[in-house]
Each structure stands twice: as C-alpha cells, then as structure tokens.
C-alpha cells in the first residue's frame, strides 16, 4: 500500500514537472516572439524615419533652389529627385508668400 502511494506521488510529481516544463517553454516562446516583434518594429520605424527625413530634406533643398532662382522646375526636379508636380506646387507656395 505504501509503495503504491509512493509510486502515485512520484508519478504526480513527474506529471507536474512535465506540465511545468511545457508552461516554461511556452513562456520562453512568447518572450522570444515579443522580442523579435519589437526588433522588427524598431527597424521599420527607423526606416520610415529615415525616409521621412530624406523627403523633408529634398523639399527644403527644392525650396531653397526655387527661392534663389537656380534652375528650371525640370532641372530642380531631376537634381533633387522630386516629381515635377511637387516642384511646381512648391514654386506656387513660395510665390504666394512673396
């Protein structure tokens, strides 16, 4: 009888150990997934921030060239890398302020 009770207790402990191991494994997987998602999010944010900064710099450079009267709209568009429509809109914006 004592042996059976002891065997059942050992068996219960083993099952508890197995279940605990599975829970810990799942928690590690979740933490790892969150860390990977966070890293991807940071990379995406950095990429977007760099693009936004580059776009803002292009616009500022185009405005400066237009204000100084250097080049045609087509030349500025080609040199800066902005669409001609954007250059023309910026030119109108500058003229309206003058």
Counting as low any pLDDT under 50, the low residues of the chain are: none
Could you give the CA distance from residue 60 to residue 78 in angstroms, rounded to a whole number? 15
Residue 19, pLDDT score:
78
pLDDT at position 4: 64
Separation CA 69–CA 91 (nearest Å)? 10
Provide the pLDDT for residue 6.
Answer: 59
pLDDT in tens, 60-86: 999 999 999 999 999 999 999 999 999
pTM over 0.75: no
Hey, how many other C-beta atoms are within 10 angstroms of the C-beta on 76?
A: 24
Q: What is the pLDDT of residue 75?
A: 97
Per-residue burial over 1-35, b if 16 or more Cβ lie within 10 Å, else e, is eeeeeeeeeeeeeeeeeeeeeeeeeeeeeeeeeee
Q: pLDDT at position 64, please?
A: 96
Residue 59, token pair as written in the block? 């616009």
User: In the prediction, which pLDDT does 30 show?
Assistant: 93
């Amino acid at each position: 009888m004592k042996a059976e009770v002891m065997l059942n207790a050992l068996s219960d402990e083993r099952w508890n150990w197995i279940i605990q191991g599975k829970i810990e494994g799942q928690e590690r997987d979740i933490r790892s997934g969150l860390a990977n998602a966070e890293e991807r999010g940071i990379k995406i944010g950095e990429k977007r921030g760099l693009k936004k900064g580059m776009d803002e710099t292009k616009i500022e450079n185009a405005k400066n060239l237009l204000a100084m009267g250097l080049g045609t709209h087509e030349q500025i568009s080609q040199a800066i890398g902005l669409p001609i429509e954007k250059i023309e809109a910026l030119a109108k914006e500058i003229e309206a302020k003058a």
